[in-house]
Chain A
Amino acid sequence: MLEPLTHLARGPLLKLSLLVMVAGLFRAAVLQVWELGWAYGRAGDQVMSWPEIAKRTLAWLLPWRYWGSEGRPVYNIISFVFHIGIITIPLFLAGHVAIWEQELGIKWWTLSPRWADALTVLTVLAIVGLLIGRGVNTGSRALSKAQDWVIPVLCMLPLLSGFLVAHPRFSPIDPQVVYLVHLLSAELLLILVPFTKLVHIVLFWSNRTSSEFGWRFAPGAGERVRATLGKEGQGV
């Protein structure tokens, strides 16, 4: 029973989940660029300060802005650590790169086992920190939707199970079951990417641009709106 399921998870399901994620992200990115272009075309003011937008976008990606910020500095630093881990581990873990090499014949630099272990533990701790941070803050607690709780937990599963796959002596469960959990939890996460806030993977780079374009209004739009609503000629 386990073996056919593992074969399915390692084979077709992995391909399907990667396809869903990549296609979904590609769609989101293309739509974003297309919509930005469309908005730019209709904007009355098309003079953009691209260096300023790039500067703002970059500033938000760098960790030192968290120092002395009024926001939630500890929460944000934990989030930064989490992002480093969740991006680095899937991409540069030796076991994952071996799969790419096997399937597509390409390989790249990999994390040493020690660094992979340390980063995994750190990332799991960061996720716990984020969940606690979300829970103890009145504002985020009130705002949070189901996915805000589920997604961090879902991120933990492939990390924990992956650690146990690499170190079966720590596993209380059959290593084959752990491997299956690792595959299925990762695949579920990949499939959810385009349908949840995880889509920010391809939208994070354009959000400052999007906000800036948001203020670039279309001339004459106000009158056209009122005409559509049958208010043409009506006063203030």
Chain B
Amino acid sequence: MGADKAEDVREAPADLSVAERIQERLSYTIEKDRVVTDDLPKRFLEVFAAVLKHSNYRQVLDNYARVTSRCANCAASCQIYQATEAPEDVPCYRSHLLLDIYRRHFTTKGILSGHLLGREPLTTDKILEMAESFYHCTACRRCTLECPLGLDHGLVTHLGRYLLSELGLVPRALVVSTRAQLEGETHNTSAIPLPAILDSLEFLAEEIKEDKGIDVEFPVDKEDRQYIFYAPVSDYLMEADTLMGIALMLRVAGQQDNWTIGSKYNDGINYGLFYSDWILERCLLEIKKEAERLRTKQILIGECGHASRTAKAFMATYGGGPDAPGMVNILELTYRLWKEGRFTLDPGIITDRVTYHDPCNLARSGWIVKQPRELIRSFCKDYVEMTPSGAHNLCCGGGGGTVSVDEIRPYRTGITGKKKAEQLAATGAKYVIAPCANCKKQLREVIEDHQVNIEVVGLHDLMYKAMIID
């Protein structure tokens, strides 16, 4: 439907805006008043040239453009390709959309052969094909486990999205949230006013007191502490059990005076990882600024995969190299405190079958795989493993920020999340622990759309139930 050829888009009739015609080609909603409509190919190449000039992408593009063997090993591990078996869903095919442009327009051989052999230059069609395709990929990076030449198609997806974002070809859902976070008054992606967050924390503390008979504080703006806590901000209103579990654990483990939440900035979400290096840097610098304001030593990220990975992998890049604040994910801290015997969990409380979903951003590199399992096995006696799992896990289907794009839910649950639904159903479990806010949202939609009888919880949700309080 809509424009099928480049000429249609650029020569749209005056009464139908070019932006509308671009929108018709995409399954996600864009901000039509901000998308580039004039000579997209030229503008795309300008963006590409600027990014190549200032970034570090050139070396990896030079490498990838030369060595791809086009063996489709990546396809065998891509759950999207396995669901569709469409050639355009082969990860290497998708990467080639960008690599071919790079080769044609930014390498000597490509430019020469382009002129001598009359190769077609970049078209609007190709740009819109990329704009759609790069948001089919969740950047879960399962393909990196199989590529014999070590290509990281997740990195190419990341770059492709970054280039497109500078032309306004990016899901509106991601941009609007980021605008609220970086330029709005609330400084968070859900535009939750601070009083609402503080009220919520007060309410949760009262709940814990009523439930467990113990005083637990959610410390706000306390200075000179070890950890400054960043949850995905939606957790403050939507994942009460996870936050209560974290606060209770820290209290019982004697860490009450060791952590704080910052009132000026407390949202760990960083959509920059999903669509823009410019945003990636800005969000991390906000996290760092708040940590410095309260003179905290380390950044503690809650149950969130991408927030953890961005803080771990990029804080040093943008936050001052070796002087950047260190980070720890809540699962790492919880595991360490548990191993030190700072708290214990009652193995008689969670008797139903439990399974564990590895968030890609925690598990793909092998970073957090064994720790939560060891902890879970200690208090959930009927624990079953999904296959595959760990570093080879299946993506929930909503990775790479796609979970935040509501209008593509049928694709997310029907295609990218299809294998996950089968995996969950096969466990026969009552609970699936998914220590990531985005995974939780996606898995809940997957189980609803596939009618799988299982409940999605955070790790600290179950720990809250089983915590032994002296």
Q: Which residues of A contact B (CB under 8 A)?
A: 28, 31-32, 35-36, 38-39, 42-47, 56-57, 60, 69-72, 75-76, 79, 134, 137-145, 148, 195, 197, 199-200, 203-204, 206-208, 210-211, 213-226, 228-229, 231, 235-236
Known: A44-B321, A211-B150. A206 touches B63 (CB 8 A): yes
Q: Given the complex, which residues of A lie within 8 Å of B66, measured CB to CB?
A: 28, 197, 199-200, 203
Q: Is the CB of A218 within 8 A of B56?
A: yes
Task: Tell me the minimal C-beta distance from A15 to chain B in angstroms.
Answer: 24
In whole angstroms, how far apart are the Cα atoms of A31 and B68 in the complex? 18
Tell me the chain B residues, 26-83 only, with Cβ under 8 Å from chain A. Answer: 46-47, 50-51, 53-60, 62-64, 66-73, 75-77, 81
Number of A-B pairs whose CB atoms are under 8 Å?
192
In whole angstroms, how far apart are the Cα atoms of A148 and B72 in the complex? 12
Instruction: Write the chain A residue with the least CB distance to B282.
Output: A222
Q: Is the CB of A214 within 8 A of B70?
A: no
Known: A207-B149, A208-B150. A216 touches B56 (CB 8 A): yes
Q: Given the complex, which residues of A lie within 8 Å of B198, measured CB to CB?
A: none
If A44-B316, A140-B75, A214-B57 are given as contacts, then 17 extra A-B residue pairs at C-beta distance below 8 Å, sorted by A number, are A32-B63, A47-B322, A57-B150, A139-B72, A139-B75, A142-B93, A197-B69, A203-B66, A208-B150, A217-B317, A219-B281, A221-B51, A221-B277, A222-B279, A225-B53, A225-B166, A235-B183
Answer yes or no: B217 CB below 8 A from chain A CBs.
no
Known: A221-B277, A222-B278. A214 touches B73 (CB 8 A): no
Instruction: Write the chain A residue with the least CB distance to B85.
Output: A138
Q: Given the complex, which residues of B lie within 8 Å of A235, measured CB to CB?
A: 179, 183
Instruction: Write the chain A residue with the least CB distance to B163.
Output: A225
Q: Is the CB of B59 within 8 A of A218?
A: no
Q: Given the complex, which residues of B lie within 8 Å of A35, measured CB to CB?
A: 58-59, 62
Can you report 10 residue pairs joining A to B where beta carbons are below 8 Å apart? Answer: A139-B75, A143-B72, A197-B67, A199-B67, A210-B150, A213-B56, A216-B317, A218-B55, A223-B278, A225-B166
Answer yes or no: B345 CB below 8 A from chain A CBs.
no
Answer yes or no: B301 CB below 8 A from chain A CBs.
no
Tell me the chain B residues, 265-303 only, with Cβ under 8 Å from chain A. Answer: 276-282
Task: Tell me the minimal C-beta distance from B315 to chain A in angstroms.
Answer: 8
Task: Give the most central of A38, A207, A213: most B CB within 10 Å.
Answer: A207
Answer yes or no: B231 CB below 8 A from chain A CBs.
no
Task: Tell me the minimal C-beta distance from B420 to chain A in angstroms.
Answer: 15
Instruction: Write the chain B residue with the least CB distance to A43.
Output: B56
Interface of A is mostly: helix
Task: Tell me the minimal C-beta distance from A65 to chain B in angstroms.
Answer: 10
Q: Given the complex, which residues of B lie within 8 Å of A70, measured CB to CB?
A: 76-77, 145-146, 388, 392
| Count class of interface residues, chain B | 35 or more
Q: Which residues of B contact A (CB under 8 A)?
A: 46-47, 50-51, 53-60, 62-64, 66-73, 75-77, 81, 85, 87, 90, 92-93, 96, 109, 144-146, 148-152, 155, 166, 175, 178-179, 182-183, 276-282, 313-314, 316-318, 321-322, 388, 392
Q: Is the CB of A134 within 8 A of B71?
A: yes
Q: Given the complex, which residues of A lie within 8 Å of B144, measured CB to CB?
A: 211
Q: Is the CB of A140 within 8 A of B53?
A: no
Task: Give the most central of B59, B75, B155, B276: most A CB within 10 Å.
Answer: B59
Task: Give the most central of A28, A72, A204: most B CB within 10 Å.
Answer: A72
Q: Given the complex, which residues of A lie within 8 Å of B183, measured CB to CB?
A: 235-236
In whole angstroms, how far apart are the Cα atoms of A144 and B58 in the complex? 24
Q: Given the complex, which residues of B lie within 8 Å of A72, measured CB to CB?
A: 71-73, 76
Known: A143-B96, A207-B63. A214 touches B150 (CB 8 A): no
Q: Is the CB of A144 within 8 A of B70?
A: yes
In whole angstroms, how far apart are the Cα atoms of A200 and B64 in the complex? 10
Instruction: Write the chain A residue with the least CB distance to B179.
Output: A236
Q: Is the CB of A148 within 8 A of B70?
A: yes
In whole angstroms, how far apart are the Cα atoms of A57 and B147 in the complex? 12
